[in-house]
Amino acid sequence: MPYIANTDRQRTEMLERIGMSIENLFADIPHEMRCESLDIEGGMSEEKVCRHMRRLAGRNVTHMISFLGGGFYDHYIPSALERIVSRSEFFTAYTPYQPEISQGTLQAMYEYQSAIARLTGMEIANASLYDGGTAIYEAILMALRITGRNRVIIDEYTNPIYRKMVRSYTTNLGIELVEVAGKAGMADRAAIFEALSDRAAALVLQNPNFLGCIDDFSDLAQAAHKHGALTVISAYPTSLGILKTPGEMGADIVTGEGQSLGMPVSFGGPYLGFMATRKKFLRKMPGRVAGRTVDEQGREGFVLALQTREQHIRREKATSNICTNEGLCALRALVYMSLLGKDGLSEVARICADKAYYAQSRLLELGGVDLRYPENFYFNEFVIELPERAEVVIRRLLERGISAGFPLSRYYEGMERSLLVAVTERRTKEEIDFLVHSLEVSL
C-alpha cells in the first residue's frame, strides 16, 4: 500500500522518514519568489476564490520579449492547430495495438513519418522519440548495433544539454565518447579527421550548431564513411525550410528536437524527438514504424509495420523501449507542417533569418558590442560579445521585460561575455529595436 499523505502531520512524518523537509524540497526557489500563503479567508464562495486566485496569478510576469534559443524556440503556432488537435477523436489510447480500430492514429503516425522523411531528406522515419537529446542517444546506440563498434565522436558545438544526456545514459555501457573541440565557432575539420579511425561507430554533428553557425558536413560525412562509421546529424527542423538537408550532406541518421513544429515553450516540455534514416538501416532503428498496405479486398489500411520493443515478443532482441508515447506531440508537428506546407515553412525560415540579420546589424551599432564569429554564417541565432559579463546584462534586461538571450559561459569556458541571441518570426522590428535600446542604456 503506497504511503499517501493527506494531512500536515502525515506529510511531516513522510518527509522525516526520508530525511527531508519542506525547506529542503524548495531550496532551489529563492525566498522572494515563494508564495508563503494564498491568504484565502474562511468561508469564501467559489466566485470569490476564483477572483482572488486570478488576482494573484495576475502578479506573475508572463509577457517577456524572448530572444532565448539554444534548441528551444518561440515560434508562432497557428490557431487552427489548437482547434484540430483538441478534437476528441485524438484523445484516444496512444498505442494502436489493434489496427482495425486504430486507423486514424496509425494514419497520423504514417503521415508524420512521411513529413519528417521529406523534411530531412531521408528515406524513412519512425513514429517519434522523447526529445532531441534522447534522439541522439538512440541514434548512437543504433550506430553501435549497425557497426559493431563502440567509439563515438561528438563535436563540442553539438547542444551541450544533449551531450550531457548522452554521457549520463552511456556511463555504464562501455562506450568510448570522444568530444572534439571546435574552432572559431565551427567543427574543427583537422581534429575530427584525426579522431576518425576504423574503430569509430559514429560521428555526431549538429546544424546549425549550438552557437547558431551554419555548416555543410558533406566532407565530414564522406570521411566518416571511408572509415566505416555512420554520420549522425542533429537538425533544427525550421531551418530545413531553406538550408541544405542532412540527407543531401550524406547523413546516415538524422535526429532533432521537434518543439519548433507547433509546440509552445512551456517550462521544459513537452518536447518531441524525431529520427530519420536510410531504408537499409530500418531494422536497427528504435521505436515503431507505421506502414500503408491493403487488405484482402484491396482496401487501403495502416498498420504497425515495425515494432521493436521488448513487449512485442522482442525480449532480448529489442532495440529500445521507445514507443508511441509522444503520439500527440507528433500529431501537433504533423498538423503544423501540413498547415504551413512546403512554401510556408520556407517562408517562416526566411523571415527568421532576415530578422536575425537585422537584429545582428542593429546590435553591432552599439559601442562595445561585437560579433564573436563574424566569418561564419548564421540562421536565426548568433553570438555577440559584450563589454561585461553576459549574465549581468541579462539580469538588467529582465527588469525591462526582455529575456535577452543565453549566457554561453554556462557551458563553455572563456565565454563569460558571450551572449547567444535567437530571433524567430514572432519578434517584431519594434521588439528588436527595444532590445537594442535597452541594451544601450544598460551597458
The mean pLDDT value for 86-97 works out to 74
The mean pLDDT value for 338-345 works out to 96
Predicted pLDDT of residue 244? 98
- Residue 285: which of 239, 241, 253, 329 has the closest Cα? 253
Query: Looking at 98-107, 187-196, 390-399, which range is the least confident one?
Result: 98-107
Determine which helix (DSSP H) or strand (DSSP E) holds 308, and give its type and residue range. Answer: none
C-alpha cell at 224: 566518416
Share of the chain above pLDDT 70, in %: 95
In residues, how long is the chain? 443
The mean pLDDT value for 35-49 works out to 80
C-alpha cell at 43: 468561508
Place of cell 506573475: 60
The mean pLDDT value for 289-314 works out to 82
- For residue 3, pLDDT over 50 is answered with no
Predicted pLDDT of residue 121? 98
Q: What is the pLDDT of residues 305-340, one digit of tens each?
A: 887 665 566 677 777 777 656 788 999 999 999 999
- For residue 26, pLDDT over 80 is answered with yes
- 371 or 289, higher pLDDT: 371
| CA–CA gap between residue 378 and residue 357 (Å, rounded) | 8
Residue type, 315: R
C-alpha cell at 431: 521588439
- For residue 439, pLDDT over 60 is answered with yes
60 — pLDDT class (breaks 50, 70, 90): confident
Strand segments, DSSP code E, in 308-350 are none
DSSP H stretches of helix in 61-203 = 79-85, 103-120, 132-147, 160-169, 189-195
Angle of helix 327-363 relative to helix 103-120, nearest 10 degrees, comes to 30
Query: Looking at 157-161, 256-260, 324-328, which range is the least confident one?
Result: 324-328
User: What architecture does CATH give domain 79-336?
Assistant: 3-Layer(aba) Sandwich (3.40)
Predicted pLDDT of residue 17? 87
Predicted pLDDT of residue 128? 76
- 109 or 23, higher pLDDT: 109
User: What architecture does CATH give domain 65-75+341-442?
Assistant: Alpha-Beta Complex (3.90)
- In order of 60, 171, 294, 302, 387, the CA distances from 368 in angstroms are 34, 43, 66, 59, 5
| CA–CA gap between residue 150 and residue 199 (Å, rounded) | 7
Strand segments, DSSP code E, in 229-351 are 230-235, 253-257, 273-277, 288-294, 300-307
The mean pLDDT value for 394-422 works out to 96
The mean pLDDT value for 426-442 works out to 97
| CA–CA gap between residue 341 and residue 119 (Å, rounded) | 11
- What is the residue-averaged pLDDT of the chain? 91
C-alpha cell at 88: 476528441
- For residue 342, pLDDT over 80 is answered with yes
Taking the domains of the chain in order of start, what are their residue ranges?
Answer: 8-54, 65-75+341-442, 79-336
DSSP 3-state of 433: helix
- For residue 93, pLDDT over 60 is answered with no
What's phi and psi for 376, nearest 5 deg? -95, 160
Predicted pLDDT of residue 1? 38
C-alpha cell at 89: 477523436
C-alpha cell at 321: 523501449
- 306-310's contacts with Cβ under 8 Å and 24+ in sequence apart are 306/126, 306/282
Determine which helix (DSSP H) or strand (DSSP E) holds 23, and give its type and residue range. Answer: helix 22-25
Predicted pLDDT of residue 312? 60
Q: What is the pLDDT of residues 222-254, one digit of tens each?
A: 999 999 999 999 999 999 999 999 999 999 999
Determine which helix (DSSP H) or strand (DSSP E) holds 180, and give its type and residue range. Answer: strand 176-180
The mean pLDDT value for 62-80 works out to 93
pTM: 0.88
Q: Cβ contacts of residue 162 below 8 Å, gap of 6+?
A: 71, 132, 133, 136, 206, 234
Give the sheet arrangement for strand 273-277, strand by strand.
124-125, 273-277, 253-257, 230-235, 200-207, 151-155, 176-180
Query: Looking at 56-65, 152-161, 256-265, which range is the least confident one?
Result: 56-65
